[in-house]
């Protein structure tokens, strides 16, 4: 059997710019611990001929093909019927799924219409995987020793079935050991700088492959090798070369890493945000359990709020402006003191596209970190669009906090 899985994502919405297709991402993550790898994702419209052509092609290359979407109640949902017709198998009503749909309708005072009940149909002989967050169940169809998996399209229905049913099935079906790899995550580092540093130290040596991926303010360096011994040595080398710049050696987020450090040291944090408008608080609190160390913050978009809730002085705002190291410092110190936290972070900058001047261009951001001893302010000049400037500002703020926590 091959070690690879292919994904076919169906749905016009994925091809008209309405929705970002997150299925490949979710499936690859779920597959990771099993040692199987996603080798291809093909996104196609809801068209029976295109679906069958793509499915046949995929089944020639791999043993497991996952098809997402097209199991819903509307007329553009054609996956189930198309595959049943091709395999010449009847559709049968799944008792659990139909009961679940009936109950959901009853609870909401709706008719269990024919369109709705159609979602409980599955191919005869399929293994049915319950959908606890929606109507259409997942199913696993075996045909000539190959496997076709059908999953509903909405991520919040598809993802639980992935982890609760597909992965356990794969783990039972396949007994594979993942190839050795080691990853390093860095915040705000440029791929080119790392490559240059590595080249200077004649890294990677023979037998080690290094791959790089930069996204959302994080650079991932992935080392792989056939030999675990070689890999361990290479990881030690990278650790020596990069030092503190590495924030994790597993796939995680910077907010989770900084949060864990705060929790371990029993320290608390408060935030004062201007140009990021709450994004830093939002990222920190997206980690479950963050209430143990995050007290809260102030979104001081208007200057009056900076004065009133954070105690930034009017003279500072008048003399240096809202986007200045002085204002960032007073924001961090003000929120730390007023909220009674161990650390205060202040961010002020120009996210763009409007609002820049020659002296203070779009992308100029000041980040301040205050604790009981001192306040550090970092000046950043970020490029690209509003979203990037805002995200990168929160990323650099979290990394300042992480580096400070390493010294505590």
Decide: helix, strand or coil at residue 364.
Answer: strand
63-102: contacts with a copy of itself (CB under 8 A): 72-74, 76
Q: Which is nearer to a copy of itself, 77 or 399 (CB)?
A: 77
The two tokens of residue 205 are 């040596």
Out of 81, 143, 171, 220, which residue is the one contacting a copy of itself (CB under 8 A)? 220
Among 309, 328, 332, 347, interactor with a copy of itself by CB under 8 A: 309
If the CB atoms of residues 124 and 314 are measured against a copy of itself, the closer one turns out to be 314
CA nearest 83: which of 141, 5, 158?
141
Residue 75, helix vs strand vs coil:
coil
* Distance in angstroms (rounded) separating the CA atoms of residues 225 and 207: 6
Residues between 3 and 32 with contacts to a copy of itself, criterion CB under 8 A: 11-22, 24-32
Nearer to a copy of itself, 116 or 123 (CB): 116
What CA dihedral angle connects 178, 182, 184 and 190, to 10 degrees? -90
Instruction: List the one residue from 127, 241, 305, 307 that touches a copy of itself (CB under 8 A).
Output: 305
CB nearer to a copy of itself: pick between 285 and 375: 285
* CB nearer a copy of itself, residue 50 or residue 87: 50
- Alpha helices (runs of H) in 62-153, residue ranges in sequence order: 79-87, 95-107, 114-117
Q: Are strands 246-248 and 269-273 parallel, antiparallel or unpaired?
A: unpaired
Q: Binders of a copy of itself: how many residues, by CB under 8 A? A: 105
Whether residue 17 has a cis bond before it, omega within 30° of 0: no
Name which of residues 371 to 390 contact a copy of itself (CB under 8 A): 383-388, 390
DSSP code for 94: -
For residue 244 the two structure tokens come to 């503190």
> Please, which of residues 140-199 interact with a copy of itself by CB under 8 A?
154-156, 191-193, 195-196, 199
Peptide bond into 33 cis (omega under 30): no
> Of 101 and 149, which CB lies nearer to a copy of itself in the complex structure?
101
Q: How far is the CB of 82 from a copy of itself (least distance, A)?
A: 17
Min separation Cβ 94 and a copy of itself, Å:
18
Q: How far is the CB of 407 from a copy of itself (least distance, A)?
A: 25
Cis peptide before 98 (omega within 30 of 0): no
170, 87 contact by CB (below 8 A): no
- We find the least distance from the C-beta atom of residue 309 to a copy of itself, in angstroms, to be 7
Residues within window 229-268 making contact with a copy of itself, judged by CB under 8 A: 251
| 257 vs 248: CA distance, rounded Å | 7
When binding is defined by CB under 8 A, the residue of 172, 215, 374, 407 that contacts a copy of itself is 215
At its nearest, how many Å lie between a copy of itself and the CB of residue 197?
A: 10
Contact call for residue 317 and a copy of itself (CB under 8 A): no
330 close to 346: Cβ distance less than 8 angstroms: yes
């Amino acid at each position: 059997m091959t070690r690879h899985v292919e994904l076919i994502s169906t749905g016009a919405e994925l091809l008209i710019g309405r929705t970002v297709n997150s299925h490949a991402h979710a499936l690859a993550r779920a597959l990771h611990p099993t040692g199987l790898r996603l080798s291809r994702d093909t996104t196609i419209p809801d068209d029976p001929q295109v679906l069958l052509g793509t499915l046949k092609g995929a089944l020639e290359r791999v043993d497991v093909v996952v098809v997402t979407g097209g199991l819903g109640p509307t007329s553009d949902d054609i996956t189930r019927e198309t595959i049943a017709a091709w395999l010449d198998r009847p559709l049968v009503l799944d008792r659990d799924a139909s009961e679940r749909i009936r109950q959901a309708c009853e609870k909401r005072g709706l008719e269990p219409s024919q369109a709705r009940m159609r979602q409980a149909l599955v191919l005869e002989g399929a293994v049915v995987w319950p959908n606890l967050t929606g109507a259409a169940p997942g199913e696993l169809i075996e045909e000539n020793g190959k496997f076709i998996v059908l999953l509903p399209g909405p991520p919040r229905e598809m993802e639980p079935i992935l982890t609760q049913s597909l992965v356990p099935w794969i783990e039972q079906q396949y007994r594979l050991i993942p190839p050795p790899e080691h990853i390093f995550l860095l915040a705000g580092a440029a791929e080119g700088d790392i490559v240059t540093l590595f080249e200077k130290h004649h890294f990677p040596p023979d037998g080690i492959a290094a791959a790089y991926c930069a996204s959302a303010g994080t650079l991932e360096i992935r080392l792989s090798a056939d030999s675990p011994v070689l890999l361990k040595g290479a990881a030690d080398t990278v650790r020596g070369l990069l030092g503190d710049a590495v924030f994790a050696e597993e796939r995680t987020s910077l907010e989770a890493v900084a949060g864990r450090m705060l929790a371990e040291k029993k320290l608390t944090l408060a935030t004062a945000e201007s140009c990021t408008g709450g994004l830093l608080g939002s990222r920190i609190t997206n980690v479950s359990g963050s209430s143990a160390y995050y007290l809260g913050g102030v979104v001081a978009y208007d200057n009056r709020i900076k004065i009133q809730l954070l105690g930034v002085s009017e003279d500072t705002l008048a003399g240096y402006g809202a986007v200045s190291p002085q204002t960032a410092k007073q924001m961090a110190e003000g929120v730390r003191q007023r909220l009674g936290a161990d650390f205060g972070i202040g961010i002020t900058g120009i996210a763009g596209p409007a609002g820049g001047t020659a002296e203070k261009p779009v992308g100029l951001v000041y980040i301040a970190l205050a604790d009981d001893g001192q306040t550090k302010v970092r000046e950043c000049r970020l490029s690209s669009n509003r979203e990037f400037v805002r995200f990168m500002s929160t990323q650099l703020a979290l990394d300042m906090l992480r580096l400070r926590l390493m010294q505590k």
